[in-house]
Amino acid sequence: MRTTKLVEDVTVDLLRMAVTSLPEDVLTALRLAEKEETSEIARIQLRTILANVEMADRRTLPMCQDTGLPVFFVSGRRIPHLEEAVRRGVARATSEIPLRPNAVQPLTRANPGDNLGKGMPHIHFHPSDEDFTEITVMPKGAGSENMSALSMLNPSQGAKGIKAFVLDTVVAAGGKPCPPTIVGVGIGGTADEAMLLAKKSLLRRLDVPNPDPDLRRLEEELKDALNSTGIGPMGLGGQTTVLGVLTEDAFTHTASLPVAICLQCWASRRASARIFKDGHVEYSKEGFC
Amino acid sequence: MKLRSPLSEKDVRQLKSGDTVTLDGLIFSGRDEVHIRALEYAREGRKLPCDLRGGVIFHCGPIMKKVNGHWNVVAAGPTTSSRMNAMEPEFIERFGVRAIIGKGGMSQPTVDAMVKFGCVYLAFTGGAAVLGAEGIVEVKGVEWLDLGMPEAMWELAVKGFGPMTVAIDAHGNSLYKEVDAKVTKNVAVAKKKLGLLG
């Protein structure tokens, strides 16, 4: 019973932390971009973003009105009735912070007003033998999520096919996903797994290099190419189209090469907490790894 | 440059793409559902609850909070305008709006309607919702709240709202088109560099 209340409280804290304040790695990347931009209109966009983020943090207000759909990743020790506790936390956060009631029935578009519904919020569970439970929330806005893409490439298309698909997708998205974006790329698995890898890759810090040297090279090459397009902040031109490219891979079928892209707006909001057996809780905006 | 709504045709015709502006006066939030319903009303010959002539439409689904019976704005930044592409030309023609605030730009039929009827597109930085709320001094009212908080039509009094960039002017100039042309060239170079061509 006590643990359930704790999980509910942690859920509210995580959502508040995520929607009102950016992780340090994202802030650093935005500040650097503002310093290096040469286009005046691009600099105005970046300065406006930084002023807005600072004001949101100071007043504990949501930095963007699209507080997204709350996507949860839960790993580690199983806590009984965790799902119900998270649901209660989401409803409370919606009225307390407040969050925008974004969750609607897909066909009737009916909006219950509390961000709850069938399959909502979405929780990805990965139980393990750790002595703590880790909960991460990624509030995902629709502007960037609507630009998601999946391609089932032929294996013969290889790395070149992946690069072309990422380039074409980001160019087609233009200013719509609120650039400078972070580009999550999932490579391999099945179609659904590739999409999940793309989303999960967005949880990595921008200043932590990919441990796989091939993926690291791919990320650097793609970042340079995307920033050479000139789309710029908000699609109004400039040299900062992306803050980073993050990839994750998994083994796939010998006849398949699934590639999934999940774009994240500049407001790359995320927050994590570890709940230990004794009730002690640790928080991190940037994530623990 | 400072603008004050309601706007006249002359007010908007003098703006050039690339100008930076702020706005005082009244604006109306309106996104997918407001566009759908307003056009249904017009086709059925019914009157809208607000007069939009010379008005400003804000592509925005704000976060609002009711405090002591009065609506307060918590966060209000622009939403992706392209979702309204199919409806905007008719919306501009029927209701005589003079400015649209949004993000990401709009397609050629909307640019054409802006030239024909005298309207501009003002790009406000996506996600700058606290700054947006800061420019809103009063929530004057709300219509069609049955559509849900993000989709309702909120009447908002603003002061110094911005900064916004005139991204599409009433003469057919569009920063998005200019950027597109450059991007097409740059992408060809990038693809060559990555060995993706030929």
Q: Which residue has the higher pLDDT, B197 or A284?
A: A284
Beta bridge partners of B120: B99
User: Which of the four pLDDT bands, split at 50, 70 and 90, describes residue A170?
Assistant: very high
| Confidence check: pLDDT of A289 > 90 | no
Strands, DSSP E only, in chain A?
A: 69-76, 122-127, 132-140, 149-153, 181-188, 242-250, 257-264, 271-276, 281-284
Contacts for B137 with CB less than 8 Å, ≥ 6 apart: B157, B158, B159
C-alpha dihedral sign at A105, B127, B168, B41: positive
| Confidence check: pLDDT of A1 > 90 | no
Give the integer Cα–Cα distance in Å for A237 and B182: 9
Q: Do B150 and A100 touch (CB under 8 A)?
A: yes
CA angle B168, B169, B171 (to 5 degrees): 125
Contacts for B186 with CB less than 8 Å, ≥ 6 apart: A228, A229, A230
| pLDDT (0 to 100) of residue A2 | 81
Total CB pairs under 8 A between chain A and B: 172
Query: What residues of B are annotated to the active site?
Result: 35
Find, among A199, A190, A208, A185, the residue nearest to A252 by Cα: A190
Judged by phi (left if over 0) then psi (alpha if -120 to 50, else beta), residue A110 lies in: beta
| Residues of chain B contacting residue A176, judged by C-beta atoms under 8 Å apart | 80, 82, 103-104
| pLDDT (0 to 100) of residue B51 | 94
Of A61, A102, A178, nearest to B103 by CB-CB distance is: A178
Is-contact B24 B77, C-beta < 8 A? Answer: no
**pLDDT averaged over every residue in chain B:** 97
Q: Which two tokens stand for residue A28?
A: 């650093």
Find, among A80, A260, A72, A228, the residue nearest to A152 by Cα: A260
Find, among B154, B166, B129, the residue nearest to B29 by Cα: B154
Q: What percent of chain A has pLDDT over 70?
A: 100
Q: Do B134 and A66 touch (CB under 8 A)?
A: no
Q: Do A235 and B105 touch (CB under 8 A)?
A: yes
3-state secondary structure of A225: helix
Choosing among B20, B130, B151, which should be mutated to test the A contact, i.e. which has the most A CBs within 10 A? B130
Give the integer Cα–Cα distance in Å for A11 and A68: 15
Of B80, B103, B183, nearest to A231 by CB-CB distance is: B183
Give the integer Cα–Cα distance in Å for A61 and B77: 13
DSSP string, chain B: -EEESSPPHHHHHT--TT-EEEEEEEEEE--HHHHHHHHHHHHTTPPPSS--TT-EEE----EEEEETTEEEEEE----BGGGGTTTHHHHHHHH---EEEEBS---HHHHHHHHHHT-EEEEE-TT-HHHHHHTEEEEEEEE-GGG-TTTSEEEEEEEEEEEEEEEE-TTS-BHHHHHHHHHHHHHHHHHHHTT---
Closest Cα in chain B, distance from residue A45 (Å)? 6
> pLDDT tens digits for A90-117?
999 999 999 999 999 999 999 999 999 9
| pLDDT (0 to 100) of residue A94 | 97
Contacts for A224 with CB less than 8 Å, ≥ 6 apart: none
Q: Do B77 and A64 touch (CB under 8 A)?
A: yes
Q: How distant, in Å, are the alpha carbons of A135, A149, A187, B19 from that of A125?
A: 9, 24, 21, 49
Amino acid type, A149: A
| Confidence check: pLDDT of A23 > 70 | yes
C-alpha dihedral sign at B81, B86, B91, B93: positive
| pLDDT (0 to 100) of residue B2 | 96
Q: For residue B174, report the phi and psi dihedrals to the nearest 5 degrees.
A: -135, 125
Q: Do B63 and A174 touch (CB under 8 A)?
A: no
- Comparing alpha-carbon positions, the chain B residue that sits nearest to A109 is B147
Task: Report, as an integer, the average pLDDT of A183-191.
Answer: 98
Q: Which residue has 């089932």 as its token pair? A: A152
- Residue A107: CB atoms within 10 Å: 6
pLDDT less than 50: residues of chain B: none
Is-contact B164 B122, C-beta < 8 A? Answer: yes
| Residues of chain B contacting residue A59, judged by C-beta atoms under 8 Å apart | 130
Taking only Cα atoms into account, the Rg of chain B, rounded to an integer number of angstroms, comes to 18
Q: Do B196 and A164 touch (CB under 8 A)?
A: yes
- Comparing alpha-carbon positions, the chain A residue that sits nearest to B165 is A41
Report the helix count and the strand count for chain A, using DSSP H and E.
Answer: 8, 9
| pLDDT (0 to 100) of residue A3 | 87
Q: Do A52 and B130 touch (CB under 8 A)?
A: yes
3-state secondary structure of A113: coil
| Residues of chain B contacting residue A225, judged by C-beta atoms under 8 Å apart | 190, 193-194
| pLDDT (0 to 100) of residue A131 | 93
Interface predicted TM-score (ipTM): 0.92
